[in-house]
Structure 1
Amino acid sequence: MSGLIAFIIIFGIIVLVHEFGHFYFARKSGILVREFAIGMGPKIFEHQGKDGTAYTIRILPLGGYVRMAGWGEDDTEIKTGAPAALTLNDKGDVVRINLSDKQLDKMALPMNVTAYDLEDRLEITGRVLDETRTYQVDHDATIVEEDGTEIRIAPLDVQYQNATIWGRLITNFAGPMNNFILGILVFIILVFVQGGVQDRSSNHIQVAPDGAVAKLGVKDNDQILQIGKSKVDNWEDLTKAVAESTAGLKKKETIPFKVRTKTGTKVLQVRPKKVNGSYVIGVMPSLKTGFADKIVGAFRMSWDGAFAILNGLKNLILQPNLNKLGGPVAIYQMSNTAAREGLAPLLNLMAMLSINLGIFNLIPIPALDGGKILINLIEAMRKKPLKQETETYITLAGVLVMVALMIAVTWNDIMRAFF
């Protein structure tokens, strides 16, 4: 249960922060955000904001989206002859069009819609009491869709295509940007939680509780000077010396190491423990605890994490393999493991996942933010937008590719986890 809760919290925060980036800069660019959704599938909660955005929570905690006016598949279709209930203001303009049997207004005017234009002329036509009538629709009117979601209509002046090219560019980049910022902030929290940042340039060590060297009386901040025949000046030397000294090590065999403690220098015999195919002696790098060290260290952790992800992506491109990818099932498994190990591993996982999501979304594939940014750059060079139909087809192709990839990755995760 703790793993499931950790998964929902981590994934929810990462998605919320990502989508908020799109939401904030869309509004700053004059684009109407019709819906801000956390989760996918049927909605379980909705709040109609004064800013014209419907804030919804949907039942599947597997993502989220910002529904911008005029972007992608954003469309509200009213079938010819469909029943609707119109709410009018004092001037006789339509301020609400209800296409569902939910959120009924007793004072609403029933109509069977025969024609409508909610983008340019802002009018709706239909049969009312056996008479055809046309009503003007208010610019800020809402429409209740068949599933009961109430959103603003999308006149042309507040649509995505009407924003400046730079407004669209920053709107698309803002999601990944927020993920990078979140990753850095979580790494900062992490180094303060663990009391500092690892110092890999020193041979001072932290001792793992109940580890092999802890049983010999070695304490935090002692210095390991030598392991076997190898001298140790830093963490890289230490890990290399352990690997060399344990090559061909027999069961219950010990290796010598020289350590400097508060009481002096001595040589001890340690019995390494085998974990996941490698030997460990139960030590970690010492910590730098200064305020500046923590901040700089958090940025360095973010930088190193980003490059590790980029290297993994490069290897995936050069040698494609589904086993190198992980979907929601894999993320749940990692969350479950991290939840058992404590707060620090959970924070580390959240930071890395956030940076990972930011980088992944910048891949120039249609339907991802990177694909949208590429289209924005092409438009900037052409000095005119692509045809909306062309952009829609490109995006649809990207969506199909991503859906197919997600199904394949999720199925592979399930097979690895349970079979």
Structure 2
Amino acid sequence: MEMVQVVFLTVLVFFVLVTIHEWGHYYFAKRAGILVREFAIGFGPKVFSHKRDETRFTLRLLPLGGFVRMAGEDPEIVEVQPGQTVALRLDGNKVTKLFLDQLDLRKNVVRGEVEHIDLEHTLKVRLQVEGEVVTYDIHPKAMMVLKGQDIQIAPFERQFGSKTVAQRALSIFAGPLMNFILAFVLFIAYILQMGVPVENPTHVRLADVSDDKPAARAGLLKGDLVEQINGIPIGADINKLVTLISESEGKEMTWVVLRGQERLEVKLTPEHIKGHQGGKVGITPSTPMRSASFTETFKFAGKAMVNTTERIFEGFRMLIFGQFTLDDLGGPVRTFELTGQIASKGIEQLTYWAAILSLYLGIFNLLPIPALDGSRLVFLGIEALRGRPVDPNRESTVHFIGFAMIMLLMLVVTYNDILRLVKG
């Protein structure tokens, strides 16, 4: 596969995984009536920005995730204080724009000193205009203009905190939920491409043959059926095949394979690969496959979801109990590297890998780690039990500390990934 195509597919995988996650937050927040200010892919400086309706869609420089910024959870709203001079643009008797700076440059506006303003509940502003006190209604979608930026006001009923616990919980849970749905769809796509194992198989099939490895150099191809090795029948025993290869490091082997109706004899020598024990020839063995029926497709996709979930939680268990080294952890660099390697093996393997990543992203985000969706759901659960929310300042502090720790860990593993690449 061409390098440009591999890079494109790698970036596409990450873009789709993050976008579908954030879209879940966005869609259910909008359904609940929450004002969504920004839908962002990535962090850091903006690379691309486009506003549609009330939401600004942005692509940011650092491909480390994404976020959906909802009203009531954002820091950019500027408070207008009594005594402050502002300029108002009106549509009838309703304020559509509140100008907070460069007032002398504003045309067709009413200038005055604020006596009282409420942008959340009553949506009214009382001004002193040329010695006269005037009250205006504020449009629920009015814009505040400051330093060249238009910021839409958020009446209380449009804020995240005004919604029921159930509505807020669904808006948060929807992100991981979309990743679970995507993972299931991708597993279905993989099964439709690859099929399912045949009943009572008689041969081991080569599901993949790595370039520039002994198997490829000997002329073996993806789809070949292994009949015997060194005169020993293999049947459908993958473990026997792997054991024979592992025990034959540096020793020439004679393979008999079936390719269509043709029986071929090839000779190859397993070699040592750094970091692995025993000989390797660069193959991925599997049992022969057949097309899946409609019901089998969903059945095997469900099994793949369950088996992959078990492996993910086993990885978490090892992480918690310290059964790992720093080299076992991988950050964005390593994940991009691995995804690129898998993309080069074909769209089928990339589909399967993308399903695993999507499932992992959904599960990881539901962990009760500060700053993740799981932690926010925990706070909502506490609120449901207590009948009142946790102090927002305390919750924000917890999430900030968690986010800082995650970013620190990300920096450490990314540095280790880059160091590993430099050292080869």
Q: Retained in 2: the 8 A contact 1:212–1:273?
A: no
Q: Which residue of 2 aligns with 1:186?
A: 186
- Aligned-residue CA RMSD (Å): 3.8
Q: Which residue of 2 aligns with 1:94?
A: 95
In the TM superposition, residue 178 of structure 1 has moved relative to its aligned partner by 0.7
Distance in 1 (CA, whole Å) between partners of 2:387 and 2:200 is 51
In the TM superposition, residue 176 of structure 1 has moved relative to its aligned partner by 0.8
Task: Output the amino acid matched with 1:88.
Answer: L
Secondary structure of 2:72's counterpart equals coil
Task: Output the amino acid matched with 1:172.
Answer: I
Q: How many residues align?
A: 406
Task: Output the amino acid matched with 1:279.
Answer: K
Distance in 2 (CA, whole Å) between partners of 1:185 and 1:55 is 26
1:383 paired with 2:382, answer: no
Q: Which residue of 2 aligns with 1:196?
A: 195
Decide which of 36, 39, 44 is 1:36's aligned counterpart.
39
In the TM superposition, residue 369 of structure 1 has moved relative to its aligned partner by 0.2
Q: Which residue of 2 aligns with 1:136?
A: 137
- Tell which deviates more after alignment, 278-287 or 202-211: 202-211
Q: Return closer, same or farther for 1:279/1:331 CA change in 2, 3 Å cut-off.
A: closer
TM-score normalised by the chain length of structure 1: 0.80
Q: Retained in 2: the 8 A contact 1:84–1:98?
A: yes
Decide which of 408, 411, 421 is 1:407's aligned counterpart.
411
Distance in 2 (CA, whole Å) between partners of 1:255 and 1:349 is 32
Gaps in structure 2 of 5+ consecutive residues: none
Distance in 2 (CA, whole Å) between partners of 1:405 and 1:27 is 33
1:289 paired with 2:287, answer: no
Q: Which residue of 2 aligns with 1:370?
A: 374
1:315-361: CA deviation from partner (whole Å, max 9, x where unpaired)? 11111644333332223323433344332343233222222211211
Q: Which residue of 2 aligns with 1:176?
A: 176
Q: Return closer, same or farther for 1:416/1:258 CA change in 2, 3 Å cut-off.
A: closer
Q: Which residue of 1 aligns with 2:14?
A: 11
Distance in 2 (CA, whole Å) between partners of 1:340 and 1:111 is 65
Distance in 2 (CA, whole Å) between partners of 1:111 and 1:57 is 39
Q: Return closer, same or farther for 1:130/1:264 CA change in 2, 3 Å cut-off.
A: same
In the TM superposition, residue 166 of structure 1 has moved relative to its aligned partner by 1.6
- Tell which deviates more after alignment, 58-67 or 131-140: 131-140
Q: Return closer, same or farther for 1:191/1:133 CA change in 2, 3 Å cut-off.
A: same
Q: Return closer, same or farther for 1:199/1:381 CA change in 2, 3 Å cut-off.
A: farther
In the TM superposition, residue 74 of structure 1 has moved relative to its aligned partner by 4.4
- Tell which deviates more after alignment, 22-31 or 229-238: 229-238
Decide which of 292, 299, 302 is 1:299's aligned counterpart.
302
Distance in 2 (CA, whole Å) between partners of 1:36 and 1:301 is 31
Gaps in structure 1 of 5+ consecutive residues: none
Q: Retained in 1: the 8 A contact 2:227–2:233?
A: no
1:199-240: CA deviation from partner (whole Å, max 9, x where unpaired)? 697434137568739958899474636777686543344334
1:59-116: CA deviation from partner (whole Å, max 9, x where unpaired)? 4443221111223x4451247688865332112x222335588xx9754556787874
Q: Return closer, same or farther for 1:385/1:312 CA change in 2, 3 Å cut-off.
A: same
Task: Output the amino acid matched with 1:166.
Answer: A
Matches within 5 A, 1:47-196: 47-49=51-53, 52-71=54-73, 73-78=74-79, 86-91=88-93, 93-98=94-99, 106-109=107-110, 116-124=117-125, 135-144=136-145, 146=147, 148=149, 150-192=150-192, 194-196=193-195
Secondary structure of 2:215's counterpart equals coil
Q: Retained in 2: the 8 A contact 1:36–1:67?
A: yes
1:242 paired with 2:240, answer: no
Distance in 1 (CA, whole Å) between partners of 2:267 and 2:119 is 80
Q: Which residue of 2 aligns with 1:254?
A: 252
Distance in 2 (CA, whole Å) between partners of 1:357 and 1:99 is 42
Distance in 2 (CA, whole Å) between partners of 1:239 and 1:220 is 17
Distance in 2 (CA, whole Å) between partners of 1:229 and 1:223 is 11
Identity percentage of aligned residues: 32
In the TM superposition, residue 375 of structure 1 has moved relative to its aligned partner by 1.1
